[in-house]
Structure 1
């Protein structure tokens, strides 16, 4: 059994930060669950472009609001607390945070831990042996 609190992850190697976001990684590949689980903040007033080519992601917004622009399918969605979206087709997208958004994210395959968005806007597919 694995039991963790969010507060014990802050400012450790399980917290990864980008210019517009902070991701606290509750479960990683090494935990052996077959997916990773993240508590992520998208900072208010920011725009984040992403294109997860190596991972499927599901996102559940529990706080804040913003706009999700699906660039693959030319659609736009309002995202607010109690809204879920799933990037089931590796969609290229932009997230515009009108307020700080707190998201619970699940990645498959699971991330290893230190991943950040690369030049291609995706997380690299790491094996954990890097």
Structure 2
């Protein structure tokens, strides 16, 4: 992972993201990830339960449950 940026949890706080940072969201927390201006950011995202890759955000910005 590389670069620097921030995560903003909607209705809450903003936290810096840099190499070595781990952030965990709960209950489908609405959030925004942003690279800092003139910076690139590369990261990995893990979903549990896993997603299939065919999901599309609905009007509320969430993925539907997969049976």
**Would you call these one fold, judging by a TM-score over 0.5?**
yes
Structure having the higher Rg: 1
Task: Please say if residues 111 and 125 of structure 1, whose CA atoms lie closer than 8 Å, have aligned partners that are also in contact.
Answer: no
Scaled by the length of structure 1, the TM-score of the pair is: 0.44
Task: Please say if residues 67 and 96 of structure 1, whose CA atoms lie closer than 8 Å, have aligned partners that are also in contact.
Answer: yes
> Which contiguous aligned blocks of 4+ residues in structure 1 show a shift greater than 6 angstroms?
none
Structure 2 segments unaligned to the other structure (5+ residues) = none
| RMSD, aligned CA | 1.7
More helix by share: 1
Match status 1:84 vs 2:22: yes
More strand by share: 1
Q: How many residues end up aligned between the 2 structures?
A: 65
Task: Please say if residues 68 and 78 of structure 1, whose CA atoms lie closer than 8 Å, have aligned partners that are also in contact.
Answer: yes
Scaled by the length of structure 2, the TM-score of the pair is: 0.75
Helix, strand or coil at the partner of 2:61: coil
